[in-house]
Amino acid sequence: MRKKILGVLYGMAIGDAMGMPPELWSRRRVLEKYGTITDFLEGDPENEISYQYHRGNFTDDTAQAITILDSLIETDFRPDGANIARHILEWAKRENAFENNILGPTSKITLDLFEKGEDASVYSDQALSNGAAMRIAPIGTLFCAEQKKALCDYVKQVSSVTHSSDITIAGAAMIAMAVASVMEKEDRDAMIQDVLEIEEYALSLGASTVSASLGTRIRYGVELAHRHAEDETAFLQELYDMMGAGVNTVDSVPCAIAIAYYSFDVKKCALMCANLGGDTDTIGAMATAICGGIKGIDGIAEADLRLIQTANEVDFTEYAEKIEEKRGKLQ
């Protein structure tokens, strides 16, 4: 199972890094600038976020995921909101994330209030953005597919320091569930079934918000995948037109799950997400992490692994070992 855990971690980083250059650009602008993205690229000097990154660098999605793992390792995988917040804040300060426009809107406000010792729940309870879902994929590797309620409860504990609304907890839980499902079953339709089964319970764990249905949008994404099975461009265009591919959970999570379902392969998934437009790095991180869990690290090109390792000075082996020790044992 360790190879599959590594596949999720490196898959997340690959999708994140591939989608980094056109982050938050419209689909039209991506097409006008790049035509079709076919490989990792340098951050774009015209992009207000990605200009500060280099080829193969992952962004805050993967960085925060690893930061959360650091916190969980420190607390023996018992989620401690204050500890998680402290780790994310320390990372943010090292990276000048507040000044460099790296943090998402909800995380920026809630972490600032946490540091001041003030209650941030009025903001985290109203959260709609994808800050919880973007960093959650490694949590899925800690659970077996049948541990649905335990997975959702754990996602809530990990996420609530910045995102405690129904839609953000459910969106994060669905990404984690997709990871847990494919690691065991390697089946795209089983993945969708497992993801949809947790929606109602996961939504019950957070503060109520006004939002479209994640489940309905995921089902529609699957329908589009079948409708355009032989036309990747048409699939991406209609997915973008219907979902928006923006930073809201209800837009980006269904996009990620639909692209993972369509591609079911790490490299194809990462490229599709990069070419989609919208929140490309985050959608890429979520979707490609899912795909990384199917065949594990053996399904990832050696050159891509080396690029992630050298560009970010990382090796996920120790994380995978510690996750494997706890997998299936958390309640």
* pLDDT digit string, tens, across residues 207-248: 999 999 999 999 999 999 999 999 999 999 999 999 999 999
Is residue 15's pLDDT more than 80?
A: yes
Q: State residue 166's pLDDT score.
A: 98
Is residue 117's pLDDT more than 90?
A: no
Q: What gap in Å lies between CA 122 and CA 4, rounded to an integer? A: 38
| Whole-number percent of the chain with pLDDT over 90 | 90
* Residue given tokens 């090109």 in the structure block: 301
Q: What gap in Å lies between CA 222 and CA 228, rounded to an integer? A: 10
- Quick check: is 300 in a domain? yes
- Residue 105 pLDDT grade (very low, low, confident, very high; cuts 50, 70, 90): confident
* Average pLDDT over every residue of 123-135: 96
Is residue 103's pLDDT more than 90?
A: no
* Of 115, 126, 217, 114, nearest in space to 161 by CA: 114
Q: State residue 102's pLDDT score.
A: 77
Q: 241: annotated binding-site residue?
A: no
Q: 76: annotated binding-site residue?
A: no
Q: pLDDT of 260-278, one tens digit each?
A: 999 999 999 999 999 999 9
Residue numbers of the domain that contains 61:
2-326
Q: 59: annotated binding-site residue?
A: yes
* Average pLDDT over every residue of 309-331: 96
Q: State residue 112's pLDDT score.
A: 83
Q: pLDDT of 139-166, one tens digit each?
A: 999 999 999 999 999 999 999 999 999 9
Q: pLDDT of 61-90, one tens digit each?
A: 999 999 999 999 999 999 999 999 999 999
- Residue 111 pLDDT grade (very low, low, confident, very high; cuts 50, 70, 90): confident
How high does pLDDT run on average in the chain?
A: 96
Q: State residue 38's pLDDT score.
A: 98
The CATH number of residue 64's host domain is 1.10.4080.10
Could you write out the DSSP letters of every residue in 89-136? Answer: HHHHHHTTTTTTT-S-HHHHHHHHHHHTT---HHHHTT--BSHHHHT-
Number of domains observed in the structure of the chain = 1
Q: pLDDT of 193-206, one tens digit each?
A: 999 999 999 999 99
Is residue 100's pLDDT more than 80?
A: no
Q: What gap in Å lies between CA 261 and CA 67, rounded to an integer? A: 28
Q: 279: annotated binding-site residue?
A: yes
142: three-class secondary structure by DSSP? coil
* Of 240, 206, 271, 249, nearest in space to 38 by CA: 271
- Quick check: is 331 in a domain? no
- Residue 114 pLDDT grade (very low, low, confident, very high; cuts 50, 70, 90): confident
Q: 282: annotated binding-site residue?
A: yes
* Average pLDDT over every residue of 277-292: 98
Q: 162: annotated binding-site residue?
A: no
Q: State residue 59's pLDDT score.
A: 97
Is the Cβ–Cβ distance between 14 and 285 less than 8 Å? no
